[in-house]
Structures are given as C-alpha cells and as structure tokens.
Amino acid sequence: MKVKHKAGTRSSWKEMDLESRLAVKLSEGFVRDKRSVIINGKSFNHCMLVIHYGNNILTTQIEIIDCTGLTIAFFSEGFFYDVITKNRVELI
C-alpha cells in the first residue's frame, strides 16, 4: 500500500512526540506489502495510508483512504477500524 505523509499540526517527523512516532511506524508496518482492505466482507483495492503529522497522538491522524479519496479506516490503539461501524478491518 502506498503511504503519503502530510503536514498536520506539525510539518515534520522530528516535531512529533515518541508515542506518535511509534503509532506511525506500527501503522506503516501493518500496511507494508498489503494492497486491499476488507470491511464487512467488501474488498477495497488500491488504497493509500495517509498520515497527518501532529505534535502528539491526539493530533496525529492515521487513516486509510480508497481510490476515490474517501476515508474508509482509521488507526487507533494498534489496529485499523472501519470509520462507520468501528469494527476492525482486515488488510490483505
């Protein structure tokens, strides 16, 4: 899966706290060599991980968007969740 880094409340990796950096690294590791997300049995292909840098974990956004740019999953507490049902998603 492609990964895109964007400036949020911070503009670089160096400005983030340790907890935010660890969350970013963990989420990047989860999507490495993955191409799709399965949510409620439906497969979303050609997704992208988008990371908005924040100064702490509360202002750092980690999300998966589909090919149309719609956010379909977010990263929280070590897992990716569907934005509608809040159920964990499967990465393939």
Q: What is the CA radius of gyration of the chain?
A: 13
The ranges assigned to domains in the chain are: 2-91
Place of tokens 């497969």: 43
pLDDT higher than threshold 90 for residue 21: yes
Nearest alpha carbon to residue 68 among 45, 87, 51 = 45
pTM strictly above 0.75: yes
pLDDT digits (tens, 9 = 90+) for 48-88: 999 999 999 999 999 999 999 999 999 999 999 999 999 99
Q: According to the model, what pLDDT value does residue 82 have?
A: 97
Q: Two tokens at 31?
A: 């999507």
Supply the mean pLDDT for the chain: 95
pLDDT higher than threshold 90 for residue 11: no
Q: According to the model, what pLDDT value does residue 9 have?
A: 86
Determine the residue type at 68.
T
pLDDT higher than threshold 90 for residue 13: no
